[in-house]
Chain A
């Protein structure tokens, strides 16, 4: 990931900024320009919306063959969650053992280190998922 691309997505990665269609109230994350349900009726009516960061686990899996950035954390858990705004989010689930994860479990986003451009490059921060304390 290049530095400009990472920088452009900071609002989404740090704060979970999505959009809400003012026509049908559906929320989208990552943000979309047009609501796929309302189509042209949504032109100019997609407003910024900060997600609550809270949701429930729909499904999850354990990854043994890691993405190179996640070598130090292998094996790790990836989960798909349903957020309070009815948005589905895929994320790295941390601070829990695989055996303790259950569908429906309440989780929330936290900021973690996702990787780095190189040992002397910028550090990528963004959301990961943790069980609600």
Chain B
């Protein structure tokens, strides 16, 4: 899909909570060799939100920084979409709270999106449609999560927290989105039923027929549409549920390790779900130069992919020395905690809160 008008990213910023726990620390509690599990998943540590952090606070911090970077006012934002699978309310939008906190309300539209880990990029596409059709000048798309793994479950070693916000528009772009496409099927690889605290998954079924098939199809499709090959891209960002999958899929599609490295954050912060690709892209943009081309494919269980073909503009130079912290700066502020503090922070202790 290609918009009739030029469309792209006007601003972006990301936020990751500072607390970290290692797979070794988690494994100690469950009688597992966490260090080996961490090596298998290629996750050295994962981020943990403080008890006063959730998708609203992570989204608001990222949105505040993105707005500050853009030099726009809150009232210039015509739409806010927050993609997440851990919205604090089952009914009451996260997006209205974010809108009120950045001064975008009331003359705007807002909604919360859910599509497992690709709800944030679904917001990108919605904003692209709104701005390229001329219905509004700027839309904000956010992907953020404070995902949970059941105590002792394999997911507990990777489920982390973080998010990023993007302002999508048609003028003053840091990066143009040349093409986007999606690939969607009904594949039950990972889900969480209404009212349940922790998600369930299909174990190994989450790999081949889900993550690998969807990313392969969607990425090949966008390269076909844009008539490109992996060599045409300086960087690539793939969904990163662990450190192994994105490296494997990149190799399978013909991308080199160096192309995915700037956006591969999972080894340090874990799987931030809806925040994963938005944060990976933000980290890649932080390190990119004018003219660089970036291929992005987000994956959401259930299942689907959104791909983007992006070209960085000269304006990227203007934000290199601004006051907004880079993703590397944000994630370098880290404090390691024990499993008992983690259990307290993640509300795993009955009667704690």
A positions within 8 Å CB-CB of B: 10-11, 14-15, 50, 71-73, 94-95, 110-114, 119, 122-123, 125, 128, 133
Contacts and interface: CB of A to CB of B under 8 A. Distances in A.
Contact of B100 (A10, A72, A95, A133): A10
B52 A114 contact: yes
Contact of B57 (A15, A50, A112): A112
B88 interface: yes
Given A15-B101, A72-B345, A119-B353, 15 more contacts: A15-B100, A94-B50, A111-B56, A111-B64, A112-B52, A112-B57, A113-B52, A113-B53, A113-B56, A123-B88, A125-B57, A128-B52, A133-B325, A133-B329, A133-B333
Nearest to A115: B52
Contact of B101 (A111, A119, A123): A111
Interface centre among B52, B56, B330, B353 (most CB of A within 10 A): B52
B104 to A, nearest CB: 11
Contacts of A128: 52
A111 B61 contact: yes
A94 B101 contact: no
Interface string B42-68: 000000001111101100110010000
A73 B330 contact: no
A73 B52 contact: yes
B306 to A, nearest CB: 28
A110 B17 CA distance: 12
A115 B88 CA distance: 13
A133 B333 CA distance: 9
A15 B67 CA distance: 13
Nearest to A119: B353
B333 A123 contact: no
Given A14-B100, A125-B97, A112 B53 contact: yes
Interface in B54-89: 54, 56-57, 60-61, 64, 88-89
B72 to A, nearest CB: 15
B279 to A, nearest CB: 16
A94 B60 CA distance: 16
A111 B345 contact: no
A73 B345 CA distance: 9
Nearest to A122: B92
Interface string B75-115: 00000000000001100100001001111000000000000
A128 B57 CA distance: 11
A73 B51 contact: yes
Interface centre among B64, B101, B330 (most CB of A within 10 A): B101
A72 B340 CA distance: 12
A50 B325 CA distance: 22
Contacts of B50: 73, 94-95, 112
Nearest to B19: A95
List 3 tightest A-B contacts by C-beta distance, closest first.
A14-B101, A72-B51, A112-B52
Contacts of B100: 10-11, 14-15
Nearest to A114: B52
Given A15-B101, A94-B50, A111-B101, A72 B60 contact: no
